[in-house]
Amino acid sequence: MLSARAPLSVKNENSVSSKMDTMSLNKENTPPSLNTTRILASKTARKIFDDATPKAVKKSSEEEEEPLLKENPRRFVIFPIQYHDIWQMYKKAEASFWTAEEVDLSKDGQHWDSLKDEERYFISHVLAFFAASDGIANGTCNGVLLTNGCVSDQVERFTQEVQVTEARCFYGFQIAMENIHSEMYSLLINTYIKKPAEREYLFNAIETLPCVKKKADWAINWIGNQNRMRVVAFAAVEGIFFSGSFAAIFWLKKRGLMPGLTFSNELISRDEGLHCDFACLMFKHLVNKPSAETVTEIIRNAVEIEQEFLTEALPVKLIGMNCELMKQYIEFVADRLMLELGFTKIYRVENPFDFMENISLEGKTNFFEKRVGEYQRMGVMSGSTDNTFRLDADF
C-alpha cells in the first residue's frame, strides 16, 4: 500500500505527490499530499457509508397520525413538559441509578466454590445470556433485545423515530443502565470463571449457545418491524425473556446463596421492570394499536421461547427448581404483561413462587448491612416543596 506522503529525501518525477503538484485541487479541496490510492479509498468509503445510511422513508398515514412520531421542532428542548406521565417515568429511572462498583462480590467466591457442578453450570450460562441480552435490549431501545447488543439496537431505533423529548430522555437513560447491567454481568462472569477459554465461550453466548441465539434472533427480528409491533416485542423481551432467569436467581437468594449475585439481580430486575412498564406506557400512547390477536400471538411466542429456554435448553432443575412450576410462572408473568398492555389474560394461572410475590415492590434488605434494592437517589423524585424546612411537620 502506498504511504500517505512521498519521502522528502527521495526525488521521483513519477511520484504521486509530484504529479499532484501540477494538478489543480478538485472541488472537495483534496490535500495535494494525499496519494491517489487514498483519494479513491476515501471516495469509495464515502459511497459505502452513503449507501449504508438509511434513506428517509415516507411515513405511512398511520404513522403520521401517531403523536409520538410527529416531527417536533422543540424536541431538543425539555421544558415545558408536555407528557408528564412519560417524564415521571424518566425521573423514576434517574432516581434508581446505581453502578457496578456498589455491588459487593467479596463473599461470592466462597459460595461459588461450595456449589454443585450443575448449579455452577446453570448460573454461568444464565449470566452469559444476561450479558448478551442487555446489549440486544440496548440496541432496540434506540430500537430492544438481549446484551449490550440486542436490547441496545432496539432502543437506538426507538430514539431515532420517537420525537417526544420526554421519551428520548428515558431511552437515553435506559441505554446507560443497560450498559451498567452488561458491565455487571461481565464482572460476575469474570469473578466466577477463572479459565480464560471458558470465560471467552460465555462472553460470546450469542454465537456459542444456540438457546441464547434463538432468543436474540427473535428479538432482533422485531427491530425492523412496524413501530407499534416493536413496542409489544420490546415489552415481551424486558418482561418475559428475563422473568424466568430472574426468578431462578431469586431462588438462590431464598437459599441464602451468592449475596453479590442476588443483590445485583435485585437492582437489575427492578430496572428491567421499569423498562417494561415504560414500553407499556408508550404502547398506551399509540393511536393505531395492533389487534388483540396480534399482541396475543407475540406474547405467546415469547412465552414458548422462554419456557423452552428454562425447561429444556437450560433446565432450572439443575438448581433444584420445578420445571413445570417455572413454566407456570412465565405464563403468570405474561398474563400480567397482557393486563398492562390493556388486554385480557391468556393463561389465567396463579403465581407458583411465593418468593416472587412482592419482588421489586418492597425492599426488605437491612440497610445497615447493604444498600436496599429499592434505593432511590435523594431528592430526585422530590417536589419543589419537599425539601423545605418546616416547623409544623408531622414526625
The residues annotated as belonging to the active site are 185
In angstroms, the CA 179 to CA 215 distance is: 19
Q: How far is CA 372 from the centre of its chain?
A: 23
In sequence order, what are the residues at sequence separation of 6 or more whose Cβ sits closer than 8 angstroms to the Cβ of residue 85? 281
- Distance between start and end Cα atoms, the chain: 77
Residue 104, Cβ neighbours under 10 Å: how many? 14
Residue showing cell 442476588: 262
ω into 31 cis (within 30 of 0): no
In angstroms, rounded to a whole number, what is the distance separating the alpha carbons of residues 183 and 131? Answer: 8
- Which sign, positive or negative, has the C-alpha torsion 40, 45, 46, 52? positive
322, 331, 324, 323: which is closest to 243 by C-alpha?
A: 331
The upper half-sphere exposure of residue 109, i.e. CA atoms within 13 Å in the direction of its Cβ, equals: 7
Distance CA 207, CA 258 (A): 28
| DSSP alpha helix (H) spans, the chain | 16-21, 36-52, 61-65, 84-95, 108-114, 117-141, 150-161, 165-192, 196-203, 205-208, 210-221, 227-236, 243-254, 259-285, 292-308, 323-340
